[in-house]
Every structure is written in structure tokens, then in C-alpha cells.
Amino acid sequence: MKKTKLALAVSTAIFASSAMATNGTNMTGVGAQSSAMGGTGVAAYYGAENVIVNPGLIGKSQGTEFSFGGTLFKPSVSNNGLLDADGQSQVDSDADTFVIPSVSLTSRINDNLTFGIGMYGTSGMGVDYSKNDVNFSSNVMNQFEAKSNLQIMRFVPTLAYNEANFGIGISPVIQYGALDINYKTVLRDNSGNPVMVNGAPYAQTIGNGVSSDLGFGFSLGGYFDINKDLTVAASYTSAINMKYDEQLSVASTPFVNPMSDLTAAFGNELEQPAEVKAGIAYNMGNITLTGDFKQIRWSEAKGYKDFGWEDQNVISIGAKYKGNGYWVGAGYNKADNPIKAQNGATSYAGAVTNMFNNIFFPAVTEQHWSIGGGYKLTKNVAIDAAIVVAPQVTTTVDTSAVSSAFAGSSVSSSNTTKHSQQAYTVSVRYNF
């Protein structure tokens, strides 16, 4: 019971949105042009920013291009806890503003070879419910200062080979990741009563500070110009395993119940999943139409598969009009929620998994609408901007088995998260 009560203390306050959670925990697009066009970019050439999506496409570049910019990401996430079934109010996460950098460079070596390099924030999640005070029982007020943050940065050197109507490319991917999960809760004795110090409940901290890791993978891609107006392309990015020591294992230990079907803490591996992508781009004079299909293989990724995540199919489309020194575009991105609800009514492990996913990792946004444009400031300098909006999604999962363990009797309860997003991207391109 001691561990169960501690677990419930955590449940009202950690993890939710993401610094970069859109398609699962991954950004829909990298760079202003891709973001404006629904996240497409497998077959559509946008310049140096293609490095991260399809390394083969930089074979279409001429001369040298340097692009830099960033995204102001503003998620809105709230959660109602899970202690009872009488409709607790939603509490907003204070983790609502993030800045995500992007830098890329391509340079043609000769008629057939192009070198590129990129550095991008590509994925992440995090919440801040540290101001939330929740009453967990009729006679005890527990106070919590819960925060979490996952950030993924990728460094991508690239080499591409091209002929007149096709190209291929390869990128070794160097990935840096950092994860921090911490919270405070009242220390309880073996009877479940709060430990008092100087007349007040003693709050203990769960967490060990930030853990980081460096992982390695690769990306392969290519394109084929069927004719001067129609391009088809495909790319593959490998999974990259990451280990964040004493993060998930420490955070989940209080939930372990040897008398239930959850007898061990979660592991510390959290693998970024493999991605398979295909795309098409079609030019009609000043108009370009783009379409991509992408599968993110969460079900095979360590950590995510333990939380019941499923493979996510992503469909994105875009349209762009190019005028004299400017362009305007719009797009749409659709990806189903990859998080599968577990049986939380009778399975304690299922209820804990539901709780972790819905409170800790609610990467549940499904639709993204985007618009953007660019303007050539000089012969060599252009500025691009994009806005992406994800409408609010509400998810409710069954957490009855956890609440029942806390109450010592059968209790029906659920947990609800609400999640929406806005992102504003600006980048500058310099050609020489």
C-alpha cells in the first residue's frame, strides 16, 4: 500500500506534452518549408533542410546553401489526475513554450557529389505540474513539484551522389538525448501514514537529475525524376537506441506491486524508432503538389513497445505557389494516435501503463494544419516562415485498478488529458 499511495501521488503531476511532440514524439517537419507543406519533403526539394528527411535529395542542389532558423513551439496540455471518479478539474502544464533550433548546410563538390550537414531538434516531450497541489485522501494534503523533459538532437553529415535524373544519399546519424523525470511526494511509513518532521509532512524527492546518452544510426534515401515535372522518392532512417540511467526505472519503482501483475520497474532504454518514408512531388508551372507516406515503427522500439505503442502511419500533403521572388504554401498532416489503451479496469499493469501514457507521455495529437511562405530579400538571401496548428485532442483511459489498489476496495476511475499545439518556424537561407 505504501508504494501504491506513492504511485498515485506521482500520477497527478508529471509528464505530458512535448517540446516537440507531434507525430508521436517527433516533429511533423523540420525547417520552415517542410513545416508549411504539411511535413512533406521526401520527394520535394526544399534545399539544405532536406538533409534530415531524405539525404539523396541534396543531389539536386547547386552551389552552396546555408540555412538556419528555429521553431517556437507552444503545446497546451492539461490533466485531471486519477484519484476518483467524481470529475476532478483539469490542471494545466506550465511546460508550454519551447525553442527548437535547426541548422543545415549543403555544398556541391562536383557534378555528381554533394556534401551536406545538419543539426536539428527532432523529437521530445515534457511537462511541468510543479505548481499543482492535490488532495489524495480525505485527511491528507500532498504537495508535488513534478517535472519531466525529454529532448532529442540529431547531427547529420551527408554525402549524396546524383546523375541527370536520379540520386542517392547516405547519412550517419549522431543523436544526443537527455531525459529528466523528477517529482516530490510525501514520505509515508509502512502503515501509509505521512512521516512528520517539525510538525509537517516530510516531502521526499524522486529522481536523479538529468541523464543523457549518445546514440548512432543512419539514414538512406534516393529519388528518381520520371520526367522534369514528376519526382518519386523513398528513404529509411534506422532506429537509435538510447539509455537514460535511473530515469524510468526510478520513476516507476513506486508503482511496482509484488502482489499484482506489475512486479518490476520499467527499464531505462527509450529507443527512437525506425522510419520508412515514400513521397511524390509534381510541378505544374508555378504550382508544386507534394505527398508523403511515413511509417514510424513505435511497436519495435525499446521502451515505447513496453508501453504498448503501435506503429504510426502518417500521411501528409502540401501545395505551393511560387511567384517572382516569393512563395506561399499550405499543408495537412494526419497521423493516428500511436498509444493503445490497455485494460485498466482489472489489470493493475494495464492501469499503470494507461496512467504513464496518458499523464506522462500523451503524444496523442492527430491532425496538423499548416501554412507558410517565403520571400527573397536579395539575390542570395531568402527568409521563410511557417505556422502549424494541431487542434485539441481529448483522451480518456481507464485507471480503475490503480485507484482500487489505493482505496483498498473496488473503485471506478479514469484519467483525461487534453492536448493541442501551435508552432511558429522561421528560417533564413543563404545561397552562394
Strands of 211-356, DSSP E: 211-225, 230-237, 275-284, 287-296, 312-322, 326-335
Tally of residues, the chain? 432
The band of 137, judged by pLDDT with boundaries at 50, 70 and 90, is: very low
Q: pLDDT tens across 146-164, in order?
A: 778 888 999 999 999 999 9
pLDDT at 135 over 60: no
d(CA 157, CA 170): 9
Checking if the pLDDT of 100 tops 60, the result is yes
Q: What is the DSSP annotation of 326-392?
A: EEEEEEEEEE---BPPP-TTT-HHHHHHHHIIIII------EEEEEEEEEESSSSEEEEEEEEEEEE
| R_g (Cα) of the chain, nearest Å | 23
pLDDT per position as a tens digit, 160-192? 999 999 999 999 999 999 998 887 766 766 665
d(CA 202, CA 224): 65
| C-alpha to C-alpha distances, 33 to 65, 73, 75, 112, nearest whole angstrom | 14, 16, 21, 25
pLDDT tens track for 199-246: 766 777 888 889 999 999 999 999 999 999 999 999 999 999 999 999
Q: How confident is the model at residue 136 (pLDDT cuts 50, 70, 90)?
A: very low
The domain tally of the chain equals: 1
Q: Which stretch of 134-148, 236-250, 299-313, 368-382 has the lowest confidence by average pLDDT?
A: 134-148
Predicted confidence at residue 263, as pLDDT, reads 86
- Residue 60 sits in which domain range? 2-431
Which of helix, strand or coil describes residue 13? coil
Lowest mean pLDDT among 24-28, 54-58, 109-113, 372-376: 24-28
Q: For residue 85, is pLDDT > 50?
A: no
pLDDT of residue 417: 87
Mean pLDDT of 9-15: 37
Please say if the pLDDT value at position 420 is more than 80.
yes
End-to-end C-alpha distance for the chain, whole angstroms: 67
Mean pLDDT of 267-287: 96
pLDDT band at 138 (very low <50, low <70, confident <90, very high): very low
What is the C-alpha to C-alpha distance for residues 163 and 160, in angstroms, rounded to an integer?
A: 10
Residue with cell string 546523375: 163
pLDDT at 402: 80
Identify the pLDDT of residue 253: 82
C-alpha cell of residue 305 = 513497445
CATH number at residue 201: 2.40.160.60
Q: Which residue has the cell 485494460?
A: 343
Q: What is the average pLDDT score of the chain?
A: 86
Query: Residue 62: its pLDDT value, please?
Result: 92
Nearest by Cα to 79 from 7, 15, 155, 143: 15
427 within 8 A of 102, measured Cβ to Cβ = yes
Question: What's the mean pLDDT in 360-370?
Answer: 89
Return d(Cα 327, Cα 51) in angstroms, integer: 21
Alpha-carbon gap, residue 60 to 287, rounded angstroms: 19
Distances (CA, A) of 334 to 52, 234, 317: 20, 19, 9
**Please, which residues have CB within 8 angstroms of residue 115's CB and are 6 or more apart in sequence?**
106, 107, 109, 157, 158, 159, 160
47 backbone dihedrals φ, ψ, rounded to 5°: 100, -150
Q: What are phi and psi of 415, to 5 degrees?
A: -130, 135
The percent of residues in the chain predicted with pLDDT above 90, rounded, is 59
The pLDDT, as a whole number, for residue 225 is 98
Cell of 361: 507521455
Band (pLDDT 50/70/90 cuts) for residue 254 is confident
Look at 29-33, 52-56, 179-183, 341-345 and tell me which has the smallest mean pLDDT. 179-183
Question: Which three cell numbers mark 227?
Answer: 520526367
Contacts of 251 (CB under 8 A, 6+ apart): 10, 14, 181, 183, 206, 207, 266
Say if residue 22's pLDDT is above 90: no
How many beta carbons lie within 10 A of that of residue 222, not counting itself? 22
Q: Which triple of cell numbers denotes residue 115?
A: 556534401
CA distance 263 to 144: 25
The per-residue pLDDT for 143 is 35
- pLDDT at 45 > cutoff 90: yes
